[in-house]
Chains A and B, each alone.
Chain A
Amino acid sequence: EAQVTQNPRYLITVTGKKLTVTCSQNMNHEYMSWYRQDPGLGLRQIYYSMNVEVTDKGDVPEGYKVSRKEKRNFPLILESPSPNQTSLYFCASSFLTSGGNTGELFFGEGSRLTVL
């Protein structure tokens, strides 16, 4: 079954304790991206990747890191989480079209993170 898998789905942590949210897709998609969703603000892009070892900042990258060492995986790292990073996080993947745009985005089920 084609899917994007995120883990953990729910996490409560404390300020400053490093954490990683994993994301894996089995569709051989070139493009992967992380979003956060907050009430009243909609979905905002954190980082994205066009292929292995190619990543770029989205609109709200501060406080996050990513890596793309393998095509299928795109982990999101919070080196020193803070309460303002409490949010619902989505990983997504897509093929890239011949025109260089993203196609249909397939989302993971989301990871709800609370930082105390």
Chain B
Amino acid sequence: RKEVEQDPGPFNVPEGATVAFNCTYSNSASQSFFWYRQDCRKEPKLLMSVYSSGNEDGRFTAQLNRASQYISLLIRDSKLSDSATYLCVVNRGAGSYQLTFGKGTKLSVIP
């Protein structure tokens, strides 16, 4: 099993749609989880951290399932500006300074 695995997509969805991405991780000791967004040829930027209790930021909801070792990102009411690649990022355990990046899921929101 790869350390961090994501469906590469692309996900092509119409404006206003709800879209969900999943990410699985193999290291049960991982403690920190993030979703980053990367626009084409640009640097990644933090979208949101993922907490055990789940968290929401506007149209975005992130959830963590430790038992099944996956995290998810839900985007409601998709906008054209949401088109990007979404990177799942997981640390390697308590006190680890290393993060493992998934290869990303590409989202295209279509008018």
Contact of B42 among A48, A102, A109 (CB under 8 A): A109
Measured between C-beta atoms, what is the minimum distance from B106 to chain A in Å? 12
Complex contact B42–A110 (CB within 8 A): yes
- Whether B27 is near chain A, meaning CB under 8 Å from some CB there, is no
Range, interface on chain A: 20 to 34
- Whether B49 is near chain A, meaning CB under 8 Å from some CB there, is yes
Chain A residues closer than 8 Å to B34, beta-carbon distance = 104
A45 to B92, CA, bound (A): 13
Complex contact A42–B32 (CB within 8 A): no
Complex contact B32–A101 (CB within 8 A): yes
Chain A residues closer than 8 Å to B42, beta-carbon distance = 109-110
- Whether A50 is near chain B, meaning CB under 8 Å from some CB there, is yes
Complex contact B94–A99 (CB within 8 A): yes
A59 to B99, CA, bound (A): 10
A44 to B91, CA, bound (A): 13
Closest A residue to B93 by CB, please name it: A101
Closest B residue to A35 by CB, please name it: B101
On chain B, the number of residues with a Cβ less than 8 Å from chain A's Cβ atoms is 23
- Whether A12 is near chain B, meaning CB under 8 Å from some CB there, is no
- Whether B69 is near chain A, meaning CB under 8 Å from some CB there, is no
A110 to B99, CA, bound (A): 18
A109 to B41, CA, bound (A): 9
Complex contact A101–B97 (CB within 8 A): yes
Complex contact B43–A108 (CB within 8 A): yes
Which B residues between 46 and 64 are near A, CB-CB below 8 angstroms?
A: 46, 49
Complex contact A101–B49 (CB within 8 A): no
Q: Which residues of A contact B (CB under 8 A)?
A: 31, 35, 40-45, 48, 50, 56, 58-59, 88, 90, 96, 99-102, 104-105, 107-110
Q: Which residues of B contact A (CB under 8 A)?
A: 31-32, 34, 36, 41-46, 49, 87, 91, 94-99, 101-104
